[in-house]
Structure 1
Amino acid sequence: MASHTFGWATLSTLLLIAFFMQPIPAARLVNRAPADGSCALMVIPSGYKCEEHEVTTQDGYILSMQRIPEGREGGGGGGGRRQPVLLQHGVLMDGMTWILNSPDESLAFVLADSGFDVWIANTRGTRWSSRHVSLDPSSRSYWDWSWDELVTNDLPATVDFVYSQTGQKLHYVGHSLGTLVALASFSEGKLVDKLKSAALLSPVAYLTHMTTPIGILCAKAFVGEIITNWLGVSEFNPKVAAVVNFLKALCRDPGLDCYDLMRSFTGNNCCLNASTVELFLKYEPQPTSTKTMIHLAQTFRDGVLTKYNYERKDLNVENYGQSTPPVYNMSNIPNDLPLFLSYGGEDSLSDVRDVELLLDDLKFHDGDKLTVQFVKDYAHADFVMGISAKQIVYEAVVAFFGRN
Structure 2
Amino acid sequence: MTRYKTYRIKRQAVLSEEEGSMMNSAIILLSTIIQLIHCASYPDVKSLLSNISEFTLSEDGKLNFTQLVTKYGHTAEQYEVVTEDGYLVKLFHIPGIRSSVLLTHGLGTDADPYVIRGNGSLGIALADEGYDVWLLNNRGTKFSRRHTELDPDKDKKFWDYSLHEMGYYDLAATIDFVLYQTGEEKILAIGHSQGASQFFALTSLRPEYNEKVKLFLALAPGAFFFNMPPLFQIVASAGPLLLELGKTLGIEELCKDRGALLFLIKTICTKGIISYEVCVRAAIFPFLGYNPAGFELSFLRTLFGHAPSGFSRKCLEHYDQLYLRKKFAQFDYGFRGNLGKYGSRNPPDYALSKITADVAIMSGKLDTLSLIENGKILKSKLPNVVHFEEIEKTTHIDFVLSREASKYLFPSIFRLLQKYD
TM bucket (normalised to shorter chain) is 0.7 to 0.9
Aligned to 1:64: 90
Residue in 2 aligned with 1:198? 216
More displaced 10-residue stretch of structure 1: 140-149 or 210-219: 210-219
Structure 1's 231 and 377: CA in aligned 2 closer, same or farther, altered over 3 A? farther
Query: For structure 1, which segment, 165-174 or 268-277, has the greater mean C-alpha deviation from structure 2 after superposition?
Result: 268-277
Query: Are positions 1:292 and 2:318 aligned together?
Result: no
The size of the alignment, in residue pairs, is: 348
Contact 1:175-1:200 at 8 Å conserved across structures:
yes
- Separation (CA, whole Å) in 2 of partners of 1:190 and 1:209: 34
Q: C-alpha offsets along residues 267-319 of structure 1, whole Å, 9 cap, x if unaligned?
A: 113412233332111111111111111110000111001110012x2211211
Given that 2:109 and 2:307 are in contact with CA atoms closer than 8 Å, whether structure 1 keeps it comes out as yes
Matched to 1:344, the amino acid is G
Q: Which consecutive unaligned segments of at least 5 residues does structure 2 have?
A: 1-33, 44-61, 265-277
Q: What's the CA shift string for 1:350-388, capped at 9, x where partnerless?
A: 0122112112223x53xxx61111024211111111122
User: 1:175 — aligned with what?
Assistant: 192
2:329 matched residue in structure 1: 306
Specify which of 164, 173, 177 is matched with residue 148 of structure 1.
164
The separation in 2 between residues aligned to 1:215 and 1:61, in whole angstroms, is: 34
Q: Give the Å deviation of 1:263.
A: 0.6
Aligned to 2:410: 394
Q: Is the 8 A contact 2:361 2:379 kept in 1?
A: no
CA distance in 2, matches of 1:99, 1:215: 32
How far is the alpha carbon of 1:215 from its aligned partner? 7.2
Which one-letter code corresponds to 1:45 in the other structure? Answer: K
Q: In structure 2, how many angstroms separate the alpha carbons of the residues matched to 1:209 and 1:162?
A: 38
Matched AA of 2:78: E
Partners of 1:185 and 1:90 lie apart in 2 by 16
Q: Offset of 1:54 from its aligned partner?
A: 0.8
Equivalent residue, structure 2, for 1:371: 387
Measured in 1, the distance between the counterparts of 2:71 and 2:230 equals: 36
The correspondence of residues 197-236 of structure 1 with structure 2, limited to 5 A, is 197-211=215-229, 213=231, 216-223=234-241, 226-236=244-254
Report the Cα distance in structure 2 between the residues aligned to 1:128 and 1:354, rounded to whole angstroms: 31
With over 3 angstroms needed to count, the CA separation of the structure-2 counterparts of 1:396 and 1:387, relative to structure 1, is: same
Contact between 1:111 and 1:118, CA under 8 Å: does it hold in 2?
A: yes
Deviation of residue 66 (structure 1)?
A: 0.8
Q: TM-score, normalised by structure 1?
A: 0.79
Aligned-partner SS, 1:208 = coil
Say if 2:236 and 2:323, in contact at 8 Å, map to a contact too.
no
Give secondary structure in 2 for the equivalent of 1:318: helix
**1:350 aligns with one of 347, 370, 376:** 370
Percentage of pairs with the same residue: 29
Q: Distance in 1 between matches of 2:376 and 2:101?
A: 27
**How do 1:4-403 and structure 2 match up within 5 A?**
24=42, 38-70=64-96, 81-103=97-119, 105-138=120-153, 139-168=155-184, 169-188=186-205, 189-211=207-229, 213=231, 216-223=234-241, 226-237=244-255, 260-269=282-291, 270-311=293-334, 313-334=335-356, 337-362=357-382, 364-365=383-384, 370-403=386-419
**Secondary structure, in 3 states, of the residue corresponding to 1:261?**
coil
Contact 1:206 1:357 in 2 (8 A): yes
Tell me how far 1:208 sits from its aligned partner: 2.6
Asked if structure 2 preserves the Cα contact closer than 8 Å seen for 1:180 and 1:203, the reply is yes
SS in 1 for 2:149: coil
Alpha-carbon distance in structure 2 between the residues aligned to 1:342 and 1:376: 10
Report the structure, 1 or 2, having the larger helix content: 2
Q: Is the 8 A contact 1:221 1:227 kept in 2?
A: no
> Residue in 2 aligned with 1:252?
none
Q: Does structure 2 retain, via aligned residues, the 8 Å contact 1:344–1:352?
A: yes
CA distance in 2, matches of 1:242, 1:272: 23
For 1:201 and 1:24, locate their aligned partners in 2 and report how far apart those are by CA, in whole Å. Answer: 35
- The residue identity in structure 2 corresponding to 1:107 is L
**Which letter maps to 1:333?**
I
Given residue 377 of structure 1, which amino acid in structure 2 is its aligned partner? K
Alignment CA distance shift 1:346-1:276 (3 Å): same
Report if aligned partners of 1:39, 1:52 keep a CA contact under 8 Å in 2.
no
Give RMSD over aligned pairs.
Answer: 2.8
| In structure 1, distance between residues paired with 2:328 and 2:394 | 25
Give how far 1:243 is off: 9.7
| d(CA) in 1 for partners of 2:245, 2:261 | 11
